[in-house]
Amino acid sequence: MSLILFLTGVPDVLIRTFFIVRIVDNVTLNLDQMLKAKEDSVKGLTKGIEFLFKQNKVDYIKGSGSFITPNKIKVSLLEGGETEIEAKNVVIATGSEVAPFPGGAIEIDEKQIVSSTGALELNQVPGKMVVIGGGIIGLEMGSVWSRLGAEVTVVEFLGNIGGAGIDDEIA
Ligand SMILES: Cc1cc2nc3c(=O)[nH]c(=O)nc-3n(C[C@H](O)[C@H](O)[C@H](O)COP(=O)(O)OP(=O)(O)OC[C@H]3O[C@@H](n4cnc5c(N)ncnc54)[C@H](O)[C@@H]3O)c2cc1C
């Protein structure tokens, strides 16, 4: 706050000289670069977790797991082939899936009709976008594409937006 108040009284040339502020005109979107920055962040965070696995002596098997018995898991390995692991205790932490449309009426093809995963990978800014579900993720995705120029409409069946736990007075 004090920095802003301070700077408002200073001539632009001094701000540029002493604070190394470069004022850029004609800012344009480079969506490919933006998506690459996102990919780099995801890769960096994932590698960080792999490093923590190693440090803490956690075995990491890359593949898709399924139960054969309550104590035995079959893993179809990403690199090909299979392996089996046996354990007395198993934690299932497979995350969540986007709720399908009733009766499978509309397919989420991740191109025109996308989940939040697909919404992070659109290769161009849509002219118009409808977000079904005005919870945290829907509003986050909508606000990203809206700021990039899409005309966004949110559809929500509850009387307020923001999802469970949001303050009613601001929703
Ligand atoms: C767009 C978006 C933005 C979000 N932003 C935030 C945020 O800002 N802050 C926040 O706190 N939360 C945020 N969340 C929520 C957060 O990502 C989830 O709550 C969290 O990731 C759930 O963790 P999880 O470990 O339960 O599941 P996940 O992170 O989904 O992990 C499950 C993993 O299991 C793997 N898997 C599934 N099936 C199998 C199988 N059969 N074999 C092997 N592996 C399998 C999946 O590939 C996945 O890697 C966001 C979610 C989304 C979608």
Q: Is residue 86 part of a domain?
A: yes
For residues 87 and 117, membership in a common domain is answered with: no
Helix, strand, coil shares of the chain, percent, nearest 5, are: 35, 15, 50
Residue 68 scores a pLDDT above 60: yes
Strand-pair category, 128-132 with 151-155: parallel
Per-residue pLDDT at 25: 84
Q: Is residue 89 part of a domain?
A: yes
Backbone angles phi, psi at 107, to 5 degrees: -90, 135
For residues 118 and 151, membership in a common domain is answered with: yes
Strand-pair category, 72-77 with 63-69: antiparallel
Closest residue to atom 53 of ligand 1, CA basis: 116
Which of the listed residues 67, 95, 123 is the one where a domain comes to its end?
95
Closest residue to atom 51 of ligand 1, CA basis: 137
Residue 165 scores a pLDDT above 50: yes
pLDDT in tens, 35-49: 999 999 999 999 999
Question: Which atom of ligand 1 lies nearest, measured to the CA of 141?
Answer: 1
Confidence of residue 51 (pLDDT cuts 50, 70, 90): very high
Alpha-carbon distance of 143 to 137, in angstroms, equals 10
The predicted model gives 120-148 an average pLDDT of 95
Per-residue pLDDT at 164: 80
